Chains A and B, each alone.
Chain A
Amino acid sequence: MGRVLAMENKLTRHLYSIPYFLWMLLFVVAPIVLVVYYSLFDIEGNFSFVNYQKFFTPVYLQMTLSSFWYAFLITAISLLVAYPTALLLTKTKHKQLWLLLIIVPSWINLLLKAYAFLGIFGTYGAANSFLKIIGIGSKQILFTDFSFVFVSVYIFIPFMILPIFNALNELNPTLLDAASDLGASRWVTFRRVIFPLTLDGVKSGCQVVFIPALSLFMLTRLIAGNRVITLGTSIEQHFLVTQDWGMGSTIAVFLIIAMVLIMILTNTRKRGV
């Protein structure tokens, strides 16, 4: 009797954890297993490694390579713009307010921002009128890789600025005084003190930009026409257009592998996200 009671007590004590573990099993573990499982079936539903063979053909390898190239470009340009911006922001008077103003655009629905560029980059759009005024003349901007990279950088910049700003903000100012006392020039101080100490912020910024840059399919669809195909676009295409879930899952498996590698590379040894 006592033992039964104790068991029951143990059961009810752990009752509260059931919903959370159920979620973990059904929506975290099962989906990953299912993606791997589906990647092992061809379009007719037979078990085979044909999808993996297909992935290593030039067509898919080239797509993967160009997707990585675009993601790299987008991350690099975002970093080049975001770092000086974050550095200057930390020097402003009401820096938290300015930071908030940088972040606000990131709250606006991504599709609306992409849509805005349909108007700006269009044939008669604002960008082309500007080009005409300065004498270059109107150009095809929309549906090119330039527009894709530009809009992506536009969307990702706040995400890159925030971690770098936080890292700069935590920097101990006495270190900079020490550097200048020891005769370091401003460039040397930046290269040997500021940048190394904010590397963690740079790394997490790169992480939050690079992974979505590989996978945002709506941007390529809306802004780049079908000129740019990223891993994400290709997965969407296979799942929702050609209905070849096996191949789509295979690309998803490689995207997951890429994601894990990037996370390891940009590991900042910090808790949480």
Chain B
Amino acid sequence: MDKKITPLSKLFLAIIFFILYAPIFFLIFYSFNSGDTMYDFEGFSLDWYRELFQDTRLFIIVLNTIVIALLSALIATIIGVLGALVIYLAKKSQTKNTLISLNNILIVSPDVIIGASFLILFTMAGIKLGFYSVLMSHIAFSIPIVVLMVLPKLLEMSPSLIDAARDLGAGRWNIFTKVIIPYITPGIWAGFFMALTYSFDDFAVTFFVTGNGFSTLSVEIYSLARRGISLNINALSALLFLFTMLLVVIYYFITRASKVNGMGVRKR
């Protein structure tokens, strides 16, 4: 392949980058508008941010989102690590493959189907829609990604490590806590982090299983956006943009430290 890039291809790449980033910076730019439209920039002001920080309802929604994300990521990580062990310790390779296929169903399923089927599930089980239904759904769709982050670490671990521990008299519990866990820790962190971001970003599933009284940030943005332009959302998106950049940096360091072949791109 010739390594030279012609000016024309440089222009092409520049246009692609412009299209990718322009809408985002456009949003952020108008968050500083003292007027209230997204086409007429009247002057610089921080009013929308001030309004954002005084909005207690929104503050509670942000807290909800954070609590759901942390709790669901934590529980999903625990169950996911156990799940990766189940797959790792399966004796027949056919069992292994079946388990992996079943594991991946929720990753490839469209969100609408996950949302709708969970809605049926919670209704039939008599679980009230609200905090707990949202929490359970987030745990459920985060577990498979944790498994996928941890399993490669388990597979690359040399079995002689476990044999050595056993020869030295370690019990099963000791092998698990002193040999396996330290070895797969980078994978666990990557899994926890992915679960966290999945939960933060989820809209469709939450939209189905959240009742009237409970809302997360994504659902709130959707209902605000359906009502039309409000520069509150722009100010919010500027803050979320900064937060996302922070996540990207953390993600970059986690993948570099763990050499997990990260998916990089998000599912939704």
Contacts and interface: CB of A to CB of B under 8 A. Distances in A.
B114 A105 contact: no
A84 B8 CA distance: 12
Nearest to A232: B112
B63 to A, nearest CB: 18
Contacts of B100: 271-272
Q: Is the interface of A mostly helix, strand, loop or mixed?
A: helix
B20 A102 contact: yes
A35 B225 contact: no
Chain B's interface size range is: 35 or more
Nearest to A256: B113
Contacts of A107: 197, 244, 247-248, 266
A240 interface: yes
A16 B175 CA distance: 14
Given A85-B13, A115-B225, A273 B113 contact: no
B112 A84 contact: no
A157 B16 CA distance: 10
Nearest to B261: A272
Contacts of B9: 84, 88, 91
A84 B12 contact: yes
Interface string B80-96: 10110110000000000
A214 B110 contact: yes
Contacts of B218: 109, 111
Given A27-B140, A107-B244, A235 B23 contact: no
Interface residues of A, number: 90
Interface in B210-266: 218, 221-222, 225-226, 228-229, 233, 236-237, 240-241, 244-245, 247-248, 252, 263-266
- Give the secondary structure class of B's interface: helix
Interface stretch (B32-40, B47-55, B162-170, B181-189): B32-40
A92 B4 CA distance: 8
Given A20-B82, A114-B225, A88 B12 contact: yes
B24 A259 contact: no
**CB-based closest 8 A-B pairs:** A119-B38, A31-B117, A215-B110, A20-B83, A27-B140, A116-B23, A124-B39, A112-B237
Given A34-B117, A118-B228, A232-B112, 5 more contacts: A16-B86, A26-B121, A31-B117, A88-B13, A252-B116
Interface of A: 13, 16-17, 19-21, 23-24, 26-32, 34-35, 38, 81, 84-85, 88-92, 98-120, 122, 124-126, 129, 154, 157-159, 162, 173, 176, 186, 194, 208, 211-212, 214-218, 221-222, 231-232, 235-236, 239-240, 245, 248-249, 252, 255-256, 259, 263, 271-273
